[in-house]
């Protein structure tokens, strides 16, 4: 069974990510850095996916997940990200967790598992 969120364009959620981090005093550049770290995209590739209306399913199919992405742990929406069985949902929740960490003021080197 495919979750509805998989067919949602990344750009539709990205605007909410930007608003969340900016509301907490962080920047769009920091958000983009975290997304690029997670996905392996360049800034131009990230922007192209956002402009093209790429769905989460296609976005993560095109991504090369960072080798340390599995170090992203914790709870998002009441579920531990490390326990999520669906690989696509786990990738999506990894991104949600990075956004949460940025918004909470966590240092970027810790967000990027540096």
Domain CATH for 24: 1.10.8.290
Q: Is residue 113 part of a domain?
A: no
Give the pLDDT of the chain (114 residues) as one tens digit per residue.
Answer: 578 999 999 999 999 999 999 999 999 999 999 999 999 999 999 999 999 999 999 999 999 999 999 999 999 989 999 999 999 999 999 999 999 999 999 999 999 997
Domain count, the chain: 1
| Whether the predicted model's global pTM rises above the 0.75 cut | yes
Q: Is residue 48 part of a domain?
A: yes
Q: Is residue 40 part of a domain?
A: yes
Q: Is residue 75 part of a domain?
A: yes
Q: Is residue 114 part of a domain?
A: no
Find all residues with CB under 8 Å of 22, minimum gap 6, and list them. Answer: 28
Q: Is residue 112 part of a domain?
A: no
Through-space distance between the first and last CA atoms of the chain, rounded to whole angstroms: 35
Question: What does the pLDDT read at residue 114?
Answer: 79
Look up the domain containing 89 and give its range.
Answer: 4-107
- By the 10 Å C-beta count (0-12 exposed, 13-18 middle, 19+ buried), 111 is classed as buried
């Amino acid at each position: 069974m495919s979750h509805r969120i998989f067919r949602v364009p990344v750009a539709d959620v990205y605007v909410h990510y930007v608003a969340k981090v900016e509301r907490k005093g962080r920047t769009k550049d920091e958000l983009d850095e975290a997304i690029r770290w997670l996905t392996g995209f360049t800034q131009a590739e990230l922007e192209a996916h956002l402009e093209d209306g790429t769905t989460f399913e296609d976005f993560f199919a095109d991504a090369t997940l960072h080798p340390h992405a599995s170090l992203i742990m914790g709870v998002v929406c009441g579920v531990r990200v490390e326990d999520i069985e669906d690989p696509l949902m786990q990738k999506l929740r990894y991104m949600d967790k990075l956004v949460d960490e940025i918004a909470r003021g966590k240092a970027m080197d810790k967000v990027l598992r540096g």
